[in-house]
Amino acid sequence: MSRIGKKIISIPTGITVTVNKGEVNVKGPKGELSEAINPDFKVEMEHGILVVKRPTEQKRHRALHGLYRSLINNMVVGVSEGYKKELELVGVGYKASTQDNILELSLGFSHNIFFGIPKEIKISAETAKGKNPIVTLEGIDKQLIGHIAAKIKSLRKVEPYKGKGIRFVGEKIRRKAGKTAAK
């Protein structure tokens, strides 16, 4: 049995989960999410507890068991609490600003980069004097926030010698030693 698939999902108050054949809908105070699942799987709800059950012990069913449980749990957490990712721009002259879900980045290239953000995500950029600019992504869909954060990070990857680039707040970067003077 899958350790993750066996775990129960506790549904907080104020959240409704509807299970149709092949689709799970989760509605809460922050919004509504839905996910298509294999119709062979059974999603049972009793007394505020959700359980995902697989039909057989086939390899493909075992592989999907934990996945579906995690996706449903992420939806429940998303509509009740929401998700937040913070990116830090490390480098001299790196700037970030937002306007109407468009992120404008100045990352040392010849032109600024304009990055369109989906309307489901709320974005903000803050710059404090003497500190690196921080871009904050907030929303209910964990997959979408992670995907957008990864795309923003790929615009300027962190280089290992000086540590310049875009990184998550609190992320540890493995630094390399530079050249030593030849004798």
**pLDDT score, position 181:** 63
Residue 114 has pLDDT above 90, yes or no: yes
Q: Residue for token digits 């039909």?
A: 55
Domain with CATH 3.90.930.12 in the chain: 3-80, 83-168
Work out the number of other CB atoms within 10 angstroms of the CB of residue 117: 20
pLDDT category at 18 given cuts 50, 70, 90 is: very high
Rounded distance between C-alpha atoms, residue 39 and residue 30, angstroms: 27
Are 33 and 143 in contact by the 8 Å Cβ rule? The answer is no
Query: Under DSSP, is residue 69 helix (H, G, I), strand (E, B) or coil?
Result: helix
Residue 182 has pLDDT above 80, yes or no: no
pLDDT tens for 122-175 read 999 999 999 999 999 999 999 999 999 999 999 999 999 999 999 999 999 999
Rounded distance between C-alpha atoms, residue 7 and residue 141, angstroms: 21
Rounded distance between C-alpha atoms, residue 37 and residue 99, angstroms: 36
Residue 183 has pLDDT above 90, yes or no: no
Going from the C-alpha of 69 to that of each of 6, 7, 66, 76, 79, the distances in angstroms are 8, 8, 5, 11, 16
**pLDDT score, position 47:** 87
CATH topology of domain 83-168: Outer Surface Protein A; domain 3 (3.90.930)
Lay out the sheet containing 165-168: strands in order across. Answer: 122-126, 134-139, 83-90, 165-168
Residue 44 has pLDDT above 80, yes or no: yes
Residue 83 has pLDDT above 80, yes or no: yes
**pLDDT score, position 84:** 97
CATH class entry, domain 3-80: alpha beta
Mean of pLDDT values over 20-43 = 92
Residue 1 has pLDDT above 60, yes or no: no
**pLDDT score, position 91:** 92
Q: Residue for token digits 């990070």?
A: 153
The structure tokens listed for 12 are 């907080």
